[in-house]
Amino acid sequence: MSFFCFPPPLLLQYLILMRVLEGLGGGLTFPAMNVLISRWAPKEERSSISSIVFGGKTDTLNSRKKMYSKRQMSTDFPGIRERG
pLDDT digits (tens, 9 = 90+) for 8-49: 667 778 888 888 998 888 888 888 988 999 999 999 999 998
Instruction: Name the nearest CA neighbour of 36 among 24, 59, 54, 20.
Output: 54
Separation of CA 22 from chain center? 11
Is the model more confident about 67 or about 13? 13
Q: Taking the mean position of all CA atoms in its chain, how far away is CA 48?
A: 22
Domain borders along the chain are: 8-74
In this prediction, residue 65 carries a pLDDT of 73
Distance CA 58, CA 62 (A): 6
